Amino acid sequence: RLSGCEQGKATTMAYALCRIPAPRVECPRQVFNSATNLPVSQSTASPVLLSMHTRTLGRTGLLVSEVGFGAWAIGGNRYGNSYGPTDDAASRAAIHAALDSGCTFFDTADVYGHGHSETLLGEVLVERPRVRGEVVIATKGGGNFYNRGVDPQIAQQFAERSGRSLNEFAPDAVLPFTHRLDFDPGYIRFAVEQSLRRLQTDVIDLYQLHNPSLAQIADGGVFDVLDDLKRAGLIRFYGVSIHDPAEGLAAIAGGRCDTIQVVYNMFSQDAAQQLFPAARAANVAIIAREPLANGLLSGKYDAADDFPHGDIRSRWPAHYRAARIETAVWLKQKLATPERTLAQAALRFVLDQPAVSVVIAGAKTPQQVVQNLAASDLPPLTADERATVAFLASSS
């Protein structure tokens, strides 16, 4: 027999096959021990119900939870390209918490922890095989961090520092220095194969090219290999993860991308001007990333806070970081209420955009996951609150 949560999810999947709106899914939200980040036994705490709303992922027809799980942070801090140190047990518990709360969209990338984020996600999904058919796995490729694709100059520097030649390492060994962009068809095939292995799945639901240039998107040749991989059954749909809205407009004009992932938050609102309307008209899904502005809209930082070595925010100019945090403190005064945190208000701001199919909120602990997903069941921002946020865009 299926539990009530499982029956609800099965109903959602049935609606997805018919490509018609599904009812909201109600799943028990687990309660977590704040000291251990692990679930509290239901014998000592009652589950709380979360109403998770779903949206259609553009022309793919896939129904996904409108709040997804962003897996950048759980990749860890080993290569200095994340949000500080992590604990794998807490990361796994965070993924479990997302699944238990009705989250069905998980976004990762091969460069997050040089494969570690994908590995953790794959391990949890293997532990829970019954949910795989309900979950959309989205990953990205194009950042070559394998020794076979290292820039020759960087390779020489590495050899000098390590005292070892790259030839001494296995062909797919992960090396501890920054990746370089590589959209060569042979490399993308290799990257997809490696992602499939780490995710322990036979198909990637959504594969996204990670930061291709405007020229590459406009040319369109970078998508040929994705069409081949799609025909081979290794990926189901594909899109791009970009920075500049102009790149998204080029992807829409090319007509080949199913999704566009772009930064959208209270600090960065440019995508709403032209990209969002164009995406809606073309039925291309918008995946909104960095809704909390790299954590600065979480509400937990003030101007005196600093970030540890290895945290990407530690590399930002001090004046830029201070200005952003000062603005976030002001927003917290304006938007946080006893019923809603600043982080939840920031997520609601994104969800209030009808062009957005899913917003991916990063999390390293179960508590962060539960707070993020709860934004799905909160009311929209009021007109006055929207005006407050619009003031940021007009005065930036």
CATH, residue 263: 3.20.20.100
Residue 1 domain-assigned? no
Amino acid letter at 279?
Answer: A
Task: Look at 172 and 295; give whichever has higher pLDDT.
Answer: 295
Number of domains in the chain: 1
Residue 336 domain-assigned? yes
Print the domain residue range for 356.
Answer: 30-127+239-395
C-beta pairs of 387-393 under 8 Å, 24+ apart in sequence: 388/331, 388/334, 388/335, 389/266, 389/269, 389/331, 389/335, 389/349, 392/266, 392/267, 392/269, 392/327, 392/331, 393/269
- Confidence check: pLDDT of 31 > 60: no
CA distances from 294 to 28, 35, 89, 286, 371 (A): 29, 24, 22, 19, 16
**Mean per-residue pLDDT of the chain:** 84
Note whether 147 and 162 are within 8 A (CB).
Answer: no
- Confidence check: pLDDT of 11 > 90: no
Residue 114 domain-assigned? yes
Residue 311 domain-assigned? yes
Residue 385 domain-assigned? yes
- Name the pLDDT band for 164 (thresholds 50, 70, 90): confident
11's tokens: 């109903």
Residue 383 domain-assigned? yes
Residue 191 domain-assigned? no
- pLDDT, one tens digit per residue, over 363-373 is 999 999 999 99
CA distance 125 to 51: 22
pLDDT value of residue 33: 39
Note whether 49 and 26 are within 8 A (CB).
Answer: yes
